[in-house]
Amino acid sequence: MRLELGKIFIKDVQFGEKTEVKDGVLFVNKEEMLKEIGGDEHIKSIDIELAHPGESIRITPVKDVIEPRVKVEGNGGVFPGIISKVDTVGEGRTHALKGVAVVTTGKIVGFQEGIVDMTGEGAKYTPFSKLNNVVVIAEPVDGLRQHDHEKAVRMIGFKAATYLGKVAKDLTPDEVSVYETKPIFEQAAEYPELPKVGYVYMLQTQGLLHDTYVYGVDAKQIVPTILYPTEVLDTAIVSGNCVSACDKNPSYVHMNNGVIEELYAQHGKEINFMGVIITNENVYLADKERSSNWTSKLCKYLGLDAVIVSQEGFGNPDTDLIMNCKKIEMQGVKTVIVTDEYAGRDGASQSLADADVRANAVVTGGNANQVVVLPKLDKVIGHLEVVDVIAGGAAGSLREDGTIEVEIQAITGATNETGFGYLTAKGY
């Protein structure tokens, strides 16, 4: 598949009479957008605010972050199986508004949601502080069940990103990136002298508001399977989870997967990038065994020399990570695992809940237990009181002077395993 990603760089976002892009500025008709994304019976009110880099603004609790996109040529549409019909994506041309994102917030859904600070100490740890954010505040009706609340906010976020993305359809991109992966035998033959490298993409699927969707299907329901990397970059995978903010891949990160982008950058130079194997992270041992068995089998079946394995989440999924690593290595395929650590506030505790001697090539996203103090900011979008209950916070995290003491796991994207700080570790 060959995907052209047309990038329209946005330097500012403002409210205006018409939703459009002019001279690198995205203007948003607030009333029209509210009408477009509203109507869900589970939501009693929706509002939209703007947050720009450097402003004294804190957004919390952050549910999801989504990049506005539109399909221009080729099969399918954005967010297939959710917004568009279930067609296979990953080819043709898609336009993206770069430098801007939809951020969803409102009353907390589950305690594992996060913070995005647009300035100060917290801004250093989140890539989303660098974006011009269109923040959608969706407040649920009283007594709404958590799963219905999560779904309602999730759908509003995708509708908002789709609404904004449409303005890019007829624009001339500032830059076009081309990604291509050929059918397996053609791809293997193209660079016979280079090591064949794949990517095992572990998706958070533990339930209890820890869910990821592939073409609209809850990934708990799948067995490991093969995707073209371009499908991932073309909105086939999106977030629906409230796992700890630094551990979850918001939809934005799935759409801009740093591991895939780096592997494409090395394709034809140092490696032959063969494709993506998606797998899930289940709760029960039998499911973990099944998925890791299938994952290792697919690595062998594809004739891979090495794989990158990335993890989403922590604790229980550490077992899935090590199972995948161990079984893939036992198939004769070398692994590099990408994870973060929970090493305690002093950094002296065991970093992962599981380990194996075969896990000997590791890229770390950092220690999620590291403590930071966030300054008091002038404006809060959302609900500030949740910082005492979200993962990474504790009773008293919100101090009397307005500063906040939290672990960096409370910051959205802080140690994200497939985000923007990815470094290649060569294990082949």
Question: Taking a C-beta distance cutoff of 8 angstroms, is the pair 113, 31 a contact?
Answer: no
> Hey, how many other C-beta atoms are within 10 angstroms of the C-beta on 176?
12
Q: How far apart are CA 409 and CA 345, in angstroms?
A: 11
299 a catalytic residue: no
> Hey, how many other C-beta atoms are within 10 angstroms of the C-beta on 2?
15
Q: Is 35 left (phi over 0), alpha (psi -120 to 50) or beta?
A: alpha
Show Cβ contacts of residue 193 under 8 Å, excluding neighbours closer than 6 positions.
none
Q: Using omega within 30 degrees of 0 as the cis cutoff, is the peptide bond preceding 61 cis?
A: yes
Catalytic residue among 242, 246, 299, 325: 242
Report the candidate in 317, 107, 136, 150 with the shortest Cα–Cα distance to residue 240: 150
Question: Taking a C-beta distance cutoff of 8 angstroms, is the pair 119, 59 a contact?
Answer: no
Q: 């624009």: which residue's tokens?
A: 171
Report the candidate in 248, 227, 369 with the shortest Cα–Cα distance to residue 302: 227
Q: How far apart are CA 64 and CA 87, in angstroms?
A: 24
> Hey, how many other C-beta atoms are within 10 angstroms of the C-beta on 17?
9
Which residues on neighbouring strands pair with residue 267, listed in sequence order?
Answer: 271
Question: Taking a C-beta distance cutoff of 8 angstroms, is the pair 367, 340 a contact?
Answer: yes
Active-site residues, by number, are 242
